[in-house]
Amino acid sequence: MSRPVLHDYVRSSAAYRVRIALNLKGVDYESRQVNLLEGDQKSDAYRAVNPQGLVPALEIDGHLLTQSLAIIDYLDARFPEPQLVPKDPGERAHVLTMALAIACDIHPLNNLRVLKYLSGPLGVEQDHRDAWYAHWVHEGFAALETLAAPRAGRFLLGDSPTMADVLLVPQMFNARRFNVPVEAYPTLVRADANACAIDAFARAHPDAQQVN
């Protein structure tokens, strides 16, 4: 297998998810930075990689994959250990429910382009923009805490990390970065702390990236 190429950005939480999954699977990869703050994602060159103009994208096995959940699903099928989406149908649905609660119902509302649209064309002031951000984190995390708590162990489901933890860690990082308090969500705080103690998660952290 030639070395996969991740179209990446250090503080992109969707790319952070894929960095974690690649590390957990033990896949060595090249990171190519797409500077979101400079608008690289909107260039014709990058839209040829991902027509949505979003990171991440992963070149692997002759495929060009986009959408972080589809990429993680590919990696889980291609490199089965450690398994990130359980085979048991009930557990599988539970893990996907938690992952999608983050990926579909928190993250898109607080994405860079949404925040820029609020403060740009809609003229929303910074404090209202911050309130918007915190609102959707609290809505999502409150539900996720309730969903996760009955079946959580060291991680969101039991005692091994799953795709749900792969999505949780970057979302917790973002919440803290935007000064959203997370103490009201003890199950999420515990799973995040346990995951961050794992080397594969730690190496994917934005502060651990070596960017030129």
Ligand X SMILES: N[C@@H](CCC(=O)N[C@@H](CS)C(=O)NCC(=O)O)C(=O)O
Of 14 and 95, nearer to ligand X (C-beta) is 14
Task: State the number of binding residues for ligand X (CB under 6 A).
Answer: 15
Shortest Cβ distance from residue 154 to ligand X (Å)?
25
CA distances, 147 to each of 138, 139, 141 (Å): 14, 13, 10
Structural tokens at position 27: 């896949």
Site string for ligand X, 69-108 (x = CB under 6 A): x---------------------------------x-----
Label the pairing between strands 5-8 and 63-66.
Answer: unpaired
Side by side, the strands of the sheet bearing 5-8 are 30-33, 5-8, 57-60, 63-66
At 7, the amino acid letter reads H
Q: Which position among 49, 54, 172, 188 is part of the footprint of ligand X (CB under 6 A)?
A: 54
Helix (H, G, I), strand (E, B) or coil at 30: strand
Which residue of 55, 96, 152, 191 would you call a contact of ligand X, by CB under 6 A? 55
Out of 23, 68, 171, 187, which residue is the one contacting ligand X (CB under 6 A)? 68
Assigned token pair, 135: 């609102």
Q: Which residue is nearest to ligand X (CB)?
A: 113
Residues of the shown chain interacting with ligand X in the complex, contacts defined by CB under 6 A: 12-14, 36, 41, 54-56, 67-69, 103, 111-113
